[in-house]
Amino acid sequence: MLAKELIQRVREIQIRTGRQVADVLAGQYESVFRGRGMEFEEVRPYIPGDDVRTIDWNVTARMGGPYVKRYVEERQLTLMMMADISASQDFGSAGRSKREATAELCALLAFAATSNDDKVGLTLFHGSIEQYIPARKGQKHSLRVIRDVLAHGTGETPEELATRTRMARRRWLPLGRKRTAQRPDRQSTNIAGAMEFLMSVTTRKTVCFVVSDFLDDGFLKPMRNTNRKHDVIAVLVTDARESEIPNVGMIHLADPETGRIAVYDSGATGFREAVLRASNERVESLRRSFGASGIDFIHIDAAGSIVDPLAKFFRMRERRMRR
């Protein structure tokens, strides 16, 4: 993406999502994601009148005199977005790729966090960690997050980029993935590695959105472990052509991550039904697996609304908090 096109795309997202945050999401974000309330600051000597429930008995025994724990109010949140930028995210069949939908989702969250004076960070990953931006505050920082999700360097020449773009625009299906040894990082996805990285760089509890098409294996346990310390939300981004194939005769389906190409007859009713069934089953399987692990789940169609599923998620979280 050329610099001029990138600037224009970022501005479009800024204008659209800024309005949506102001109109729909700002109040919901604030009500759902609150700070932790009170945070431990120090231990100090006991003063008559202090609540005896705050006495730190271990320090008291060690020092030979009463000491109490002192807490301060902590309301600021840290929002970390883990964005999958592997090759499969470049696919899009209706004017917006999954990567562009990811960027718009990150923009909505970043601007909502900024309006609440929270910190926003970003981790871009594929088969390895591509870039890490520590959490900071401010609209300028949020715009950088959007820009980097859209266009962080892939290390490709213009010719390689043009070839990959043509490949990404071919229809392809997640009908099963066979791992290939020593694939380039952009042609693989390692969500477990991204979770391990997050745990290594973040000491304070964060709200973590993992945005991916989840075409990977072995990620559920690492995400579950990460969720014990942080608040992890899984966001599945899909494209309509991954489930609904039109009847256009013989078609070539290319997987941008494995490089495998196969030929299918889209005129066969059984084939189209099998694709739809496999896609729906995969989404429901992810929904059940994340739910059983205590991880919230959001499903976004790359060509559809980003706001509606996010607002629905906020309403669900708010209802749950009131119970």
Does the pLDDT value for residue 162 go beyond 60?
no
Chain Cα centroid distance, residue 247:
33
Best-predicted range by mean pLDDT (5-14, 37-46, 243-252): 243-252
Does the pLDDT value for residue 289 go beyond 70?
yes
Please tell me which residue, 298 or 146, carries the higher pLDDT value. Answer: 298
Q: How confident is the model at residue 172 (pLDDT cuts 50, 70, 90)?
A: very low
Q: How confident is the model at residue 179 (pLDDT cuts 50, 70, 90)?
A: very low
Q: Under the phi-then-psi rule, with left for phi > 0, alpha for psi from -120 to 50, and beta for the rest, what region is 33?
A: beta
Q: Per the CATH hierarchy, to which homologous superfamily does domain 3-22+78-322 belong?
A: von Willebrand factor, type A domain (3.40.50.410)
Could you report the per-residue pLDDT of 185-199, keeping only the tens digit for each?
A: 667 889 999 999 999
Does the pLDDT value for residue 38 go beyond 80?
no
* Amino acid 59: pLDDT: 92
Please tell me which residue, 159 or 234, carries the higher pLDDT value. Answer: 234
Question: CA geometry: angle at 303 spanning 297 and 309, to 5°?
Answer: 30
Please tell me which residue, 282 or 13, carries the higher pLDDT value. Answer: 282
Does the pLDDT value for residue 169 go beyond 80?
no
Please tell me which residue, 33 or 215, carries the higher pLDDT value. Answer: 215
Taking the whole predicted model, whether its pTM rises above 0.85 is answered as no
Average pLDDT over residues 270-280: 91
What count of other Cβ atoms lies within 10 Å of the Cβ of residue 147? 17
Does the pLDDT value for residue 23 go beyond 70?
no
* Amino acid 61: pLDDT: 94
Does the pLDDT value for residue 35 go beyond 60?
no
Domain boundaries, the chain: 3-22+78-322, 40-73
For 203-233, b/e burial (b = at least 16 CB within 10 A) is eeebbbbbbbbbbbeebbebbbebbeebbbb
- Token pair, residue 255, equals 């997987």
Share of the chain above pLDDT 90, in %: 33
Residues 6+ apart with CB under 8 A from 14: 107, 111, 143, 146
